[in-house]
Amino acid sequence: MRDALEFARLAAKRHHQYSQILATAFSLSHFQTALIREPRTEIALLFVVGAQWFKRSPVLGIAQCRRTYCHHLVLEFLSVHPSIVARHEPRVSGVGKGLVYGLAEIANQLGIELIWGEATADSASFYSHILSGRNVEDHFFIKKRTLARFGREFREKFFGELD
């Protein structure tokens, strides 16, 4: 639980630092425009999942990323609210997975073929679980085929069954 709070603080701090030195995208169209202007630019991204009904905080989770000059996404921090990790009431699940799946959908829309990141001792089992049991040690790679599956599952859950 302490890791979730610390990661959220670090992600916010990192994003603030990046916004001072890197391009920062605030929407998908803003991201695309930045890429057209400078195809090799690094771009900072902060994704926030919120819910007004969650009484402990309007923020359920965050993902702080950076688009590399090679057109990959580095997932630097992923954190869900500590109450979710501790399984307090109301029970909420799927926030971390939803963030990763949402990132995959955005990667698919932008033609990004790889999301990679570093796992911690506490997060390795989470990444292993969402990557269908693949052994995750200190790093993970989510490649094109898996990104397509994650994006499809994200659209199905978010928008309903797809034809």
Domain presence at residue 54: yes
- Mean pLDDT of all residues belonging to the chain: 83
Give pLDDT tens digits for 19-57. 666 777 878 888 899 889 999 999 988 888 888 887 777
Domain presence at residue 69: yes
User: Of 108, 141, 101, 136, which Cα lies nearest the Cα of 122?
Assistant: 136
- CA-based end-to-end distance of the chain: 39
**CA-to-CA dists, residue 132 to 69, 125, 156, angstroms:** 29, 11, 18
The token pair that represents 15 in the structure block: 């994003």
Give pLDDT tens digits for 125-154. 999 999 988 899 999 999 999 999 998 888
Q: Are 138 and 119 in contact (CB under 8 A)?
A: yes
Using CA atoms of 14, 17, 20, 21 in order, give the dihedral in degrees to the nearest 10: -80
Domain presence at residue 17: yes
Domain extent, residue 82, equals: 2-158
Domain presence at residue 163: no
Tell me how many domains the chain contains: 1
Give pTM, 2 decimals. Answer: 0.81
Here the CATH number for the domain that contains residue 56 is 3.40.630.30
Maximum Cα interatomic distance, the chain, rounded to a whole number of Å = 47
Range of lowest pLDDT (7-16, 25-34, 96-105, 127-136): 7-16
Domain presence at residue 11: yes
